Structure 1
Amino acid sequence: MSELAQRPAPAEPAPDALPLGPQSLVWRWFGDNRMYLIGPRPAVLQNMLADLGQGVYDHSTFFADTAERLRRTIPPIFNTVYGSEDQNAGTQVRDFHHHVRGDLPGTDGKRYHALDPDTYFWAHATFVEQVLYFADTFVKRLTDSEKEQIYLESKTWYRRYGVSDRPMPATYAEFEQYWDHMMEQVLVAHPSAKYGVGYVTKGFPRPKAVHPLVWRLVAPVFNPLAAFLTTGGLPPRARHLLQLPWTDRQERRYQRFAAFWRSAPVNWLWDRLPMRVRYSGYAVKGYARS
């Protein structure tokens, strides 16, 4: 046998990204209805990037009609994740943002644009981190390999938007470094973000669809719960920048609350509920199609 024949075959290179689908962890957890437990974490963090927050401030209906903004935004994002590789709403989401551009106040003429790759990737990064934070906090402690898998799947997700992936870190370890840099050096208490958490201290405004009398009965229970989930669900750095009140005692309560949801009996019970209860309708349709 020749020396060449005795040499081992070269190792396969590690995949640059992993596919989305029924076996993916992003599918398993992004559409899980327990996601409500993290509060508005991704939306608040998105708006703490000055360029993105200013785009929301200048162009969005978020302030005038929050419910309408959510109804318009949420479906295509879910359909980007739970669509097929060939049929998904990624470019539709991207095209919503072509007109979102303008001047950034206090920067001597600096312009912002929602489709700037650094801005667009930050919005996506908050959704990736949403999956990681939710699963690790309220479902199970994630292993390093699970975190890496989620991140590699998220690269496939991002590429469906058709926006430059220049700012996208190559690995989960690099994503962690990117995240820490954004939290510590880049994010600010933009008015859009402060508006989004204003109800923590002022109370949540009555939704238009809810009768005033009904809201009067519901608000005393809903507002403290919303404040607890919103503030507890934010990173400490974000709470500091937004000046949100949070004590050590509240932190201990939040950690006990999270541990309850991670417990084996709760997970056992949740996994035996009907799928339409456990998952958003978009996720249910995705699994059914696949």
Structure 2
Amino acid sequence: MNPIERLRARVGDALFMRVAGPGGYEQRDRIHLTPGPRWFAPDSPIRRVHGDSATFVGGLRALLLQSLHPLAMAGVAGHSGYRGDPWGRLARTSTFLGYTTFATEEHAQEMIDRVRAVHERVRGRTPDGRPYRASDPHLLTWVHVAEADSFLAAHQRYGEKPLTAGETDEYVAQSGRVARALGAQDVPTTVAELADRIESYRGELGATPAALDTASFLLREPPLPRPARAPYRLLAAGSVALLPSWARDELGVDTWFSRTLGGPAGSVAVRAVRWGMDSVAREGRRW
């Protein structure tokens, strides 16, 4: 292996382990190598979107957008340990995405059942006294639409092979299958319905102190070694650039850099991630 390929393999391994966690390779093999029927066909839109490196940008955008619902944010702040164990939370999220998108029907349902059981235990009150529970179908739908909109927006802007108009509707419908399995209701099945559903939540949204703290943590003080922070800022700028203008204003993240150079910065970041992650993908295909 030449020096460039060795560097690429090291970068890919470091990225994969950050996202997937210590047992990531074992989970990857269980997801992809276990024989059996899957929820989604190999070349389906949901597999193309969730398998692309643009999900790094989409995932960060989703976290920022989701934080604007005070009840959803209270659950995250009170139960997820996003500050104390951000990489653990990321690994759990990516593992859920991997199982529900690529694993066998049996393993996907096992993951759904596990997450639903966790949701049943996550409940409490916001600082102003309002009750919340993670299993609330209305909150689950908000979390879903923010995530689906973010992954789709990132893929269409930064993905290697953007979807056609018909495929974007198919992606929304396919991602909705997972949301309904988790307990969400009134789940959109087209891009137009997705936009309408997000708009219907606008009156409930606002940047609480917890949301502002999350945005600061994710964008200004990421838990990364210093050499990795400059590349991460490019990825973060790409995520912020994709947010709706009202969300950027609420979170106070609408900077000159994100407005003017966020798109190009995101493209550079995703290409760099794809360059490294392709070595991990090739190893998986070899298996």
Instruction: Write the distance in 1 (CA, Å) between the matches of 2:133 and 2:164.
Output: 37
The aligned counterpart of 1:194 is 212
Counterpart of 1:28 in structure 2 is 48
Instruction: Give the residue type in structure 1 aligned to 2:67.
Output: N
Q: Deviations over 1:217-240 (max 9, x none)?
A: x26734643552343242221110
Q: Does 1:254 align with 2:262?
A: yes
Structure 1 residue 127, shift from structure 2 partner? 2.3
CA 1:127 to 1:103, structure 2 compared with 1: closer, same or farther past 3 Å?
same
After superposition, the Cα gap between the structure-2 partners of 1:226 and 1:23, relative to the gap in structure 1 and judged at 3 Å, is closer
How high is the sequence identity, in percent, across the aligned residues?
24
Greater C-alpha Rg: 1
Displacement of 1:119 in angstroms is 0.6
Alignment length, in residue pairs?
Answer: 245
Q: Which has the higher helix share?
A: 2
- Deviation digits for residues 245-274 of structure 1, max 9, x if unmatched? 422x64232334567799xxx8xxx79x98
Q: Does 1:179 align with 2:179?
A: no
The Cα offsets for residues 5-44 of structure 1, whole Å up to 9 and x where unpaired, read as xxxxxxxxxxxxxx52312111112122232244611112
TM-score for the superposition, normalised by structure 1: 0.71
Preserved CA contact (<8 Å) 1:200 1:226: no
1:109-188 aligned at under 5 Å gives the runs 109-139=129-159, 140=161, 142-161=163-182, 163=183, 165-182=184-201, 184-188=202-206
5 Å-filtered alignment, 1:179-258, equals 179-182=198-201, 184-199=202-217, 203-207=220-224, 210=225, 215=226, 218=227, 221-222=230-231, 224-225=233-234, 227-247=236-256, 250-257=258-265
> 1:69 and 1:111, CA in 2 relative to 1: closer, same or farther beyond 3 A?
same
Cα pair distance change 1:68/1:24, threshold 3 Å: same
Task: Please tell me the residue identity of whatever aligns with 1:59.
Answer: H
Q: Structure 1 residues 221-230 or 28-37, which shifts more?
A: 221-230
Q: Conserved in 2, the CA contact under 8 Å of 1:27 and 1:81? A: yes
Give the whole-Å Cα distance in 1 for the aligned partners of 2:63 and 2:266: 21
Alpha-carbon distance between aligned partners in 2 of 1:28 and 1:43, rounded to the nearest angstrom: 21
How big is the shift at 1:62? 1.0
Unmatched 5+ stretches in structure 2: 1-38
CA RMSD of aligned residues (A): 3.4
30-39 vs 125-134, greater mean Cα deviation: 30-39
Indicate yes or no: 2:119 matched with 1:97. yes
What is the TM-score with the length of structure 2 in the denominator? Answer: 0.71
| CA distance, structure 2, for counterparts of residue 22 and residue 173 of structure 1 | 25
Instruction: Give the SS at the match of 2:141.
Output: helix
